[in-house]
């Protein structure tokens, strides 16, 4: 089956809802940090399917787990036991908060579960109208609960009304956060590093303020690790490199190595809030996605790999900072936002890089976002830095 790009684009215009602006490339194959388009052109993938393909495209261990499980049992429903799901819950719990897990099919659904836990937990404390506090710039997903906690998108009047009980304070404003958390707060729901906004880390001071305010009020601290987790920042969970531990953690994206899966993980205390009938999902925790996630964690949850992420991240950051046109590099491990000098058009640089065979993303006008596979090779980092340098030079020569 092969089709010209122009015909594919015409079909897309006719049959797909216009929710995405796609770059004019059809990818047909991937291996490790590499992608190939339909013309056979090779690309270095420094976006990893937006932080999904962290163990590389078509990772052999993930592939084997998926094929083996799919050949045996693809789906049985949550009315019965399947071993991969239970083993995955055990592994997620023991590697983080020690409580219980609810599986979902995506990041936004993992956050829906967290929001439901927070609201029920608040009602049990006698709060009639529970509030959830986030930071301006946070992104938690597109379903209505997660969307209501995503200030930028929640303010779109065409998509309203949002769920009641959500508010936000400026990023890293610890005093405003302390002030916003009170008697009716159910939870503080934040990303440890804002990804979609352009890679903006939350300061330790703001995280500590969130933890202390939650402890003082009885609210839950929910960390959305959908983009930062599964090794992306150089520890299995980003919170491990901060002074706080959440009550609830959400994961998705890289967890399935390309298979759709999300998870909401709790402490033992928060794990008892939801009871039979409170929540559910037909596909969630299915055997194939769970088998893939177990294979991913088998690769990522290893000290040598996580050390490699920190080392490769440091090398990438150093290379980028040496380039003319780069103002700053934000983030941790291999989740980096490259802040370009004023006047440099990041969208033009991103398009130029695609032409040079480097896939990156432009989350906001002045920023390139880099999310390469955690297994990226040192020479691939050098090639990416050289390509970004060349794109910046050609832009300044225009
Ligand atoms: N939370 C964060 C931090 C994200 O980056 C994303 C996706 O970009 C989501 C939630 C939503 O995840 P999904 O697109 O799988 O629903």
pLDDT at 330 > cutoff 90 = yes
Residue 143 Cα to ligand 1 midpoint, Å, equals 10
Is the pLDDT assigned to residue 260 strictly greater than 70? yes
Q: Which atom of ligand 1 is nearest to the CA of 262?
A: 15
Any atom of ligand 1 within 6 Å of the Cβ of 138: no
Using a 6 Å cutoff on CB, does residue 49 contact ligand 1? Answer: no
Percent of the chain beyond pLDDT 70? 100
- CA 139 – ligand 1 centroid, Å: 7
Closest ligand 1 atom to residue 50 Cα is 8
- Whether the model clears a pTM of 0.75, i.e. scores above it, the answer is yes
Please check the confidence at residue 397 and state whether its pLDDT lies above 90. no
Q: Is the CB of 260 under 6 A from ligand 1?
A: no
Average of per-residue pLDDT across 228-237? 98
Average pLDDT over residues 208-235: 98
Give the model confidence (pLDDT) of 4-59 as tens digits: 999 999 999 999 999 999 999 999 999 999 999 999 999 999 999 999 999 999 99
DSSP H helices, the chain, are 5-15, 48-51, 60-72, 83-94, 107-124, 144-148, 151-154, 174-180, 204-217, 287-300, 303-321, 346-355, 378-396
Look up tokens 């190939």; give the residue.
36
Nearest-atom number in ligand 1 for the CA of 138 is 3
Span 70-100, pLDDT tens digits: 999 999 999 999 999 999 999 999 999 999 9
Model pLDDT, residue 2: 83
| pLDDT for 391 beyond 70 | yes
Q: For position 143, what pLDDT does the model report?
A: 98
Parallel, antiparallel, or unpaired: how do β-strands 200-201 and 193-194 relate?
A: antiparallel
Contacts of 169 by beta carbon, 8 Å cutoff, 6+ apart: 133, 135, 136, 176, 177, 179, 180
Q: Is 107 in the pocket of ligand 1 (CB under 6 A)?
A: yes
Nearest to 345 by CA among 328, 329, 362: 362
Q: How high is the pLDDT of residue 398? A: 79
Q: CA–CA separation, 345 vs 362, rounded Å?
A: 10
Residue 68 pLDDT: 98
pLDDT category of residue 256 using cuts at 50, 70 and 90? very high
Tell me, in angstroms, the distance from the centre of ligand 1 to residue 51's CA.
Answer: 10
> pLDDT-based confidence at 1, cuts 50/70/90?
low
112 lines ligand 1 (CB under 6 A): no
């Amino acid at each position: 089956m092969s089709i010209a790009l122009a015909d594919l684009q015409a079909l897309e215009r006719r049959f797909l809802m216009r929710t995405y602006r796609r770059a004019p490339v059809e990818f047909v194959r991937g291996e490790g940090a590499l992608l190939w388009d339909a013309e056979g052109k090779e690309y270095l993938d420094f976006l990893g399917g937006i932080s999904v393909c962290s163990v590389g495209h078509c990772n052999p261990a993930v592939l084997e787990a998926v094929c083996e499980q799919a050949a045996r049992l693809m789906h049985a429903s949550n009315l019965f036991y399947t071993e991969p799901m239970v083993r995955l819950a055990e592994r997620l719990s023991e590697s983080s908060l020690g409580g219980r897990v609810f599986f979902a099919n995506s990041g936004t659904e993992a956050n829906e579960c967290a929001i439901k836990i927070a609201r029920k937990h608040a009602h049990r404390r006698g709060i009639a109208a529970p509030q959830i506090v986030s930071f301006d710039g946070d992104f938690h997903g597109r379903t209505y609960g997660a969307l209501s906690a995503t200030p930028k998108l929640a303010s779109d009047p065409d998509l309203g009304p949002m769920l009641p009980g959500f508010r936000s304070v400026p990023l890293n404003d610890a005093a405003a956060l302390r002030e916003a958390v009170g008697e009716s707060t159910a939870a503080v729901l934040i990303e440890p590093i804002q990804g979609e906004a352009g890679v903006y880390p939350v300061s330790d001071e703001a995280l500590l303020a969130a933890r202390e305010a939650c402890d003082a009020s009885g609210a839950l601290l929910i960390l959305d690790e959908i983009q930062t987790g599964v090794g992306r920042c150089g520890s299995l969970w980003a919170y491990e490199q901060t002074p706080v531990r959440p009550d609830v953690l959400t994961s998705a994206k890289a967890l399935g190595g390309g298979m759709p899966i999300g998870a909401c993980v709790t402490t033992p205390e928060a794990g008892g809030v939801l009871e039979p009938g409170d929540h559910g999902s037909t596909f969630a925790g299915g055997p194939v996605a769970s088998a893939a996630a177990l294979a991913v964690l088998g690769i990522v949850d290893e000290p040598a790999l996580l050390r490699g992420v920190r080392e490769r991240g440091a090398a990438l950051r150093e290379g980028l900072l040496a380039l003319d046109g780069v103002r700053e590099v934000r983030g941790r491990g291999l989740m980096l936002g490259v802040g370009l000098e004023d006047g440099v058009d990041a969208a033009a640089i991103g398009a130029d890089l695609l032409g040079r065979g480097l896939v990156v993303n432009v989350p906001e006008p002045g920023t390139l976002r880099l999310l390469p596979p955690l297994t990226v090779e040192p020479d691939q980092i050098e090639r990416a830095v050289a390509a970004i340098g060349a794109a910046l030079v050609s832009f300044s020569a225009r």
